[in-house]
Amino acid sequence: MATIEPTTRRVALPGRPPFTVDDLLTFPVDGKRYELFNGSLVVSPAPTPLHQRVIFRLQCILNDAAPAELEPLSTVNVRASDEDFYIPDIVVVPKAVSNAVGLMFAPSHLLLAVEVGSPSTELLDRAAKVAAYAAAKIPLYWRVDPEGPVLYVYELEGDSYQEPVAYKAGTTVNLSSPYPLSFDPAELIDD
């Protein structure tokens, strides 16, 4: 039986740095997640099964608690500027906005942005996205470390987020924003 060896292909992407959102729209559809931070391209591989599990379960928790006028969505496009484009793992938005939006949301549409950590995005989620989402005035940012799991809740105060509050597995999280909900972070990974 023959084995198939993985190959590395170099793909020339259209455009030149600094990239713009318009450049991204010409990139190949290849299963990778392309984001922009001040024109710098960030490419992430497809998420792991654990990452997907955490996203799905958290989206279900958010959906079950959501008031009728709000909804959680996964992997949406957020255009903050011509050179800043993000794809949060989960967002909470008004349903009226999601029904009217085409390809991209504006940061002002988001009540919450969530990133689930993975080895390839940890530094980005812990530093760059904290600064970028605060600059975009997204009122709440949650970062989930699936290894705990631990939920980190950042609330916008002025132009930056306060120090995050950490909620570890085995404790009940009681939050009032973006709407009231309670859960144990262990629910995000437990079978």
pLDDT digits (tens, 9 = 90+) for 126-184: 888 999 999 999 999 999 999 889 999 999 999 999 999 999 999 999 999 999 999 99
Global pTM reads 0.89
How far is 116 from 121, CA to CA, in rounded Å? 9
Per-residue pLDDT at 64 exceeds 90: yes
For position 1, what pLDDT does the model report?
Answer: 44
DSSP lists the bridge partners of residue 154 as: 141
Per-residue pLDDT at 102 exceeds 90: no
- Determine what percent of the chain is predicted with pLDDT higher than 70: 92
For residue 48, CA distances in Å to 33, 59, 109 come to: 13, 17, 28
| Averaged pLDDT for residues 60-83 | 96
- Beta strand pairing status for 90-94 and 70-74? antiparallel
| Three-state secondary-structure class, residue 152 | strand
User: Do residues 112 and 126 make contact, with C-beta atoms less than 8 angstroms apart?
Assistant: no
